[in-house]
Amino acid sequence: MKGTVVYDSYYGNTKQVAEAIADELKAEGHDAEVRSIREHHRAEPVGDVMFLGSPVRMGSVTGRVKRFVKKLDANLLKSTPLVVFTTTLKLPDDASDEKRQAQDKYDRAAGRKLRDLAREQGLLAVDDHLWAEVAGMKGPLTEEALPKTKQFTHDVLRSLTS
């Protein structure tokens, strides 16, 4: 199986998550290609599974990621599962319930909205999505983020091959 990991990143945190996904793909015996949306590629990303990631900024994924999804060829990718991942700000442990509800409503919902956008474009977006937390506005990733990413990737691969 070949996995393509496409991402946008501002401070490098989403790139780290993308690379961890690729590392897990390789660790499980699959091929992996990592692509930044900010780089020009001549051909559509192809593979047996595509992971698509973005930082969440102001409650939304980046405009680059949205435009990327809208330009994908649904006919070419109609049988390729698309898996969404995002990086979001970790709230302090003592954050109020109100702040936690707001984060779920906006930041975590951004991944679900990206999944739904992909589905509207005719893509096969899987239900589950990953959000990896960032400790500050510019990072770094929290200590749990990369192990969580690898476990999520493992679980996705298992569900696709069973």
pTM here is 0.95
The torsion angles phi and psi of 135, rounded to 5 degrees, stand at -75, -30
Q: What is the pLDDT of residues 135-154, one digit of tens each?
A: 988 999 999 999 999 999 99
Per-residue pLDDT of 67-96, as tens digits, reads 999 999 999 998 999 999 999 988 888 889
- Note the CATH number of domain 2-161: 3.40.50.360
Dihedral (Cα; 8, 12, 14, 16), 10-degree rounding: 130
Q: Can you list the alpha helix ranges (DSSP code H) found in the chain? A: 13-27, 63-71, 74-77, 97-103, 109-120, 145-161
- Specify whether the CB–CB gap between 135 and 90 falls below 8 A: yes
